[in-house]
Amino acid sequence: MCEDTPKKHTFVVMQLSVLLDTPTRWKEYELLDCGDFEKLERFGEFVTIRPEPQAVWPKKWSDQDWKTQAHVRFVQKGSNSGEWQKLKKMPDQWKIKYQLPNNANMTMRLGMTSFKHVGIFPEQAANWDFSVNVLGNMKTPKPKVLNLFAYTGGASVACALERADVTHVDSIKQVVTWANENAQLSGNVNVRWMVEDALKFVQREVRRGNKYNGIILDPPAFGHGPKGEKWKLEEQISELLHGVLQLLDDQEHFLVLNAYSLGLSPLIVENLLRPFAGKNLTIGELYLSGKSGVVLPLGVFGRIQKLK
């Protein structure tokens, strides 16, 4: 054989099962259609049009169908902001409800922000249901749950309504105030509110030796802490998870890592969590099914659970 003949290599590829998960309990939310980088959604009795970078395909319904149904449309003015244009009469704030698997009812206040959000990520209801179901099967009398990058508190309220002692951490004071309002609307549930940088909070908890039975984190692609700390998902997620995994109770725990970032592969979540979780890890992708028949992908997740 000639010396410069390329050698053949054999690669063993691990069998990876990816769960596709979508919430099934929504009554007051509905994805109607999406396409051409926008989505048409019903929140309670009001219909919104918002940008959606993953909707790269054409709309299923006509522009006239969208215009006829929509109450308000978000028009992007820059890379991170824009304005709402009302097409029909509607309030600036309104409320919707969600019933958890334990039949407890959450109430969330919605509103039009300058960043296209309305105060809720509907696909996250699938993670709320998972968390509530695991908590319901725990033997720990009062499970401790840490919710990082907790936004307006959907997961915090859901876990608190399933007997958990919840610590809610977000870097934006106004958002934590909004989450507190949702907790009050849902029955004045007991939550510890923290305006903190997530990474710094986790590092302090590790030093203190604190443990949690559940940890939920939904980090943004980019962000800033309350003192200007910079967050970039790809650069800091490994460091954050190193601390987070040390905070999980050895006997009984669950973890939800959700990541909505364009191009992020489930294999990345697999590589981050498998060494710790072993066979207790589920990797998946969240999506919403539209009334028009379209399916919208909305991020990848990893879930770990260990029960007594």
Give per-residue pLDDT as tens, 157-191: 999 999 999 999 999 999 999 999 999 999 978 89
Spell out a b/e string for 282-305, using b for 16 or more CB atoms within 10 Å of the CB, else e. bbbbbbbebeeebebebbbbbbbb
Helix (H) or strand (E) holding 257: strand 253-259
Its domain, for residue 144, covers: 18-23+92-306
* pLDDT tens digits for range 99-126: 999 999 999 999 999 889 999 999 999 9
Neighbour count for residue 21 (Cβ, 10 Å): 18
Q: What is the CATH number of the domain that holds 277?
A: 3.40.50.150
Report whether 57 contacts 294 (CB < 8 A): yes
First to last CA, the chain: 59
Mean pLDDT of 47-58: 96
Instruction: Report the mean per-residue pLDDT for the chain.
Output: 91
| pTM for this entry | 0.91
41 domain-assigned: no
Question: 285 - beta bridge partners?
Answer: 20, 300
Nearest partner of 108 among 174, 21, 190, 44, judged by Cα: 44
The dihedral of CA 256, 261, 263, 268: what is its sign? negative
Q: How many domains is the chain partitioned into structurally?
A: 1
Report whether 81 contacts 56 (CB < 8 A): no
35 domain-assigned: no
245 domain-assigned: yes
Neighbour count for residue 106 (Cβ, 10 Å): 24
Report whether 71 contacts 49 (CB < 8 A): no
74 domain-assigned: no
* pLDDT tens digits for range 204-261: 999 999 999 999 999 876 666 677 776 677 778 889 999 999 999 999 999 999 988 6
- Phi, psi torsion values for 140, nearest 5 degrees: -60, 125
70 domain-assigned: no
Least confident of 4-18, 109-123, 128-142: 4-18
Helix (H) or strand (E) holding 133: helix 125-136
The beta-carbon contacts of 229-233 under 8 Å, at least 24 apart in sequence, are: 229/171, 229/197, 229/199, 229/200, 231/197, 231/198, 231/199, 233/259, 233/261, 233/264
d(CA 137, CA 272): 26
Local confidence band at 263 (pLDDT 50, 70, 90 cut-offs): low
In this prediction, residue 77 carries a pLDDT of 84
55 domain-assigned: no
In this prediction, residue 262 carries a pLDDT of 57
d(CA 262, CA 30): 23
Report whether 42 contacts 84 (CB < 8 A): no
50 domain-assigned: no
In this prediction, residue 117 carries a pLDDT of 93
Report whether 116 contacts 50 (CB < 8 A): yes
216 domain-assigned: yes
